[in-house]
Structure 1
Amino acid sequence: MTEMLKKMRQRWKLVLGLAVGLLIFSVSVGISGAYVLAYTSTEEFCVSCHEMSYNYAEYKGTIHDTNRTGVRAICTNCHVPHEPGPLLWAKIKASKDVYYTYISPSIDTKEKFEAKRSVMAQRVWLQMKESDSHQCRSCHRADKMSVDLQSAKAQVRHAKGKAEGKTCIECHFAIAHKEPDGPGPAELFGNTATNSQ
């Protein structure tokens, strides 16, 4: 009987050891993953590639960079989803940028960047349209906006946009970056959006 108890104890020690090891491994991976997600969401990381220096320079001094309230939007506020699942998926999809940056550079000069600006902007506008401008709404909450503090023109446009089921990006674009040549949101979405910087 004692031999059988010894074997049972050894099995339980092994199971317990494996469980503790798995727990430590899971926590380590979780912490490492959280660190990587947090680090790759910093402004410093976003502009560490010289390809991003072109559009970062034009962002500097805009209302999203410097304003009377001191509230800033950095790259990830506008270009990355904020929920964990979509955020992780966006980071996985963004890994293709390593290929286009280092292996087969497609925007490694200002000229190449400008040639692709319209395509890149339209891709972002479409994503924002599909998400109902979620990135905008994470900072600009309609339920917290004071309509009385808006100009009469803005009040009318916001009411009209709401009635027509429009989303932020359909009117508010080219605010943090230069407006590219080619079709804007109005042409892309088939409406009469106008840039209201």
Structure 2
Amino acid sequence: MKWLINLWRTLNKPTKALTLGAVSISAFIMGIIFWGGFNTALEATNTEAFCISCHSMESKPYQELQETVHWSNHSGVRATCPDCHVPHNWSRKIARKMEASHDVWGWLFNTVNTPEKFEAKRLEMASREWKRFDRDNSLACKNCHNYNSMKWESMSPLAQKQMKRAAEIDQSCIDCHKGIAHHLPEMGTARAPELIAEVGAGVSSLETNQTYYSALTKPLFFSEKGDVEAGTLNVATKVKVLETKGKRIKIGIDGWRKKIGAGRVIYMDFGVNILSAQLSKDAAETEGVIQTFEEKEDPMTGLKWQRVEAQIWTDKDYLLTELQPLWGYARDTFRSSCSVCHTQPDEAHFDANTWPGMFQGMLAFVNMDQDTQALVQKYLQEHSSTFVKKEH
């Protein structure tokens, strides 16, 4: 301890031998040494070799990168990990390095050290990177790709139309090009995490003879205990609770079906292809599951339709008391996701039977899990010109 006190006194003692110039030059040289050492260390942690060793990434994302054009192409230009994941701007680079402390924590505790753990975390990690790219307006992409340098004539007509529109507004590349270097997360099993975060997991207690709306696509069952599935209940479908048994409820689904085949598909209304539920063939043919009422012929197609009620079991979770939270989320998703490539049409621009084909054409350019896709399509159909009369 004594030597530390003596050192402190020496450092605080005014110099007798050195001039101000000598002190200034010494400080300048020490500054250069410090800055050089700092930047050397910074660049050493900014290499692909460091990334795939420290982050235990070599077995998954590094192998996926090697399957893409960013690894091998006719020009011989290759993107490395830091090219995309470390900002080139110095202040943002330092901020990103500070954020990387989270990665060090994950490496220490083996958060993604197996393929199973990696897949379980893939959606979370991908979402975090997409948000960062969106925040930086895909600057990492634009360090190599420049709208002004693109050869429009070499693109397909569709690509020209979309890319020229993107260039006009300096659009973020990640809006349309998710999954360009690594595999996309399995969105079908994600259970719409952003949707549930927005609208909630549903009511905790259900009352018989009351109506509710499904917040997710849910499996249907033959009984209150069995595991044999009898079909699927679509998102945003109105149901009536008929009976409660443990973790399951018996519900009534009112709607219409086409009088063809087993009549397994239940639609929301006569003549419109808005899906409410799809029963299995066995369920549709089981006595007591479907009750039929009136019958009508569609003058547009000549098909006969039946008004029906299906009585079947499902789990109690993910049921809401009102549709508005679902419609609010669907509206915001449609207006944000479906406007990145072009100006999206008004909801009432098409009728309910035209929207599915139009919407399916948009899905190649956006990233939605299956529940969100189904919800947005249903929102567009139920707010279409079939139900909302509006001049265009």
| Range of TM-score over shorter length | 0.7 to 0.9
Unaligned runs of 5+ in 2: 1-14, 193-331, 341-363, 367-392
Partner of 1:69: 75
Shift of 1:152: 1.1
Q: Contact between 1:51 and 1:109, CA under 8 Å: does it hold in 2?
A: no
Report what 1:34 is aligned to. Answer: 39
Identity %: 32
* Partners of 1:175 and 1:121 in 2: CA distance: 12
1:159 pairs, out of 147, 152, 164, with 164
Residue 191 (structure 1) aligned with residue 197 (structure 2)? no
C-alpha distance after superposition, 1:96-138 (max 9, x if no partner): 3222211x22112111111111111111111111111111111
Change (3 A) 1:89 1:164: closer
Other-structure match for 2:186: 181
How far off its partner does 1:79 sit? 0.7
Q: 1:157 to 1:116 in 2, by over 3 A?
A: same
Q: Identify the residue that residue 327 of structure 2 maps to in structure 1.
A: none
Structure-1 residue corresponding to 2:8: none
- Tell me the TM-score normalized by structure 2: 0.43
| Distance change (3 Å), C-alpha of 1:155 and 1:23 | same
Return the offset for 1:158.
1.3
Distance (whole Å) between structure 1 residues aligned to residue 169 and residue 94 of structure 2: 32
| Alpha-carbon separation, structure 1, partners of 2:168 and 2:154 | 20
Indicate how the Cα distance of structure 1 residues 147 and 46 shifts in structure 2: closer, same or farther if over 3 A, else same.
same
Kindly indicate whether the alpha-carbon contact (under 8 Å) linking 1:51 and 1:113 is maintained by their aligned counterparts in 2.
no
Match runs of 1:116-127 below 5 Å: 116-127=121-132
The answer (yes or no) to whether the contact 1:173–1:179 under 8 Å persists in 2 is yes
Q: Which structure is larger by alpha-carbon Rg, 1 or 2? A: 2
Q: Distance in 1 between matches of 2:69 and 2:183?
A: 13
Which structure ranks higher in relative contact order (CA pairs < 8 Å, sequence separation ≥ 6)? Answer: 1
Deviations 1:30-64 (A, max 9, x none): 11111112111111111113621111011113100
Aligned equivalents of 1:116 and 1:188: distance in 2?
26
Runs of 4+ displaced beyond 4 Å: 162-165, 186-189
Q: Please name the residue that 1:48 is paired with.
A: 53
1:168 aligns with 2:314: no
Indicate conservation of the 8 Å contact 1:136/1:168, yes or no: yes
> Aligned in 2, Cα 1:188/1:181: closer, same or farther, shift over 3 Å?
farther
- Structure 1, 32-41 or 112-121: larger mean CA deviation: 32-41
Unpaired runs of 5+ residues, structure 1, are 1-9
Name the residue aligned to 2:154: 149
User: What is the CA–CA distance in structure 1 between the aligned matches of 2:163 and 2:173, rounded to whole Å?
Assistant: 9
State the match for 2:18 in structure 1.
13
Aligned to 1:59: 65
Between the two proteins, the alignment pairs up a number of residues equal to: 184
Equivalent residues of 2:152, 2:160 under 8 A apart: yes
Cα deviation, residue 166, structure 1: 3.6
Displacement of 1:20: 2.9
**C-alpha distance in structure 2 between counterparts of 1:80 and 1:95, whole Å:** 14
The equivalent of 1:101 in structure 2 is 107
Distance 1:28 1:163, change over 3 A: closer
RMSD: 2.5
Q: Secondary structure at the match of 1:82?
A: coil
User: In 2, are the aligned partners of 1:133 and 1:168 still within 8 Å (CA)?
Assistant: yes
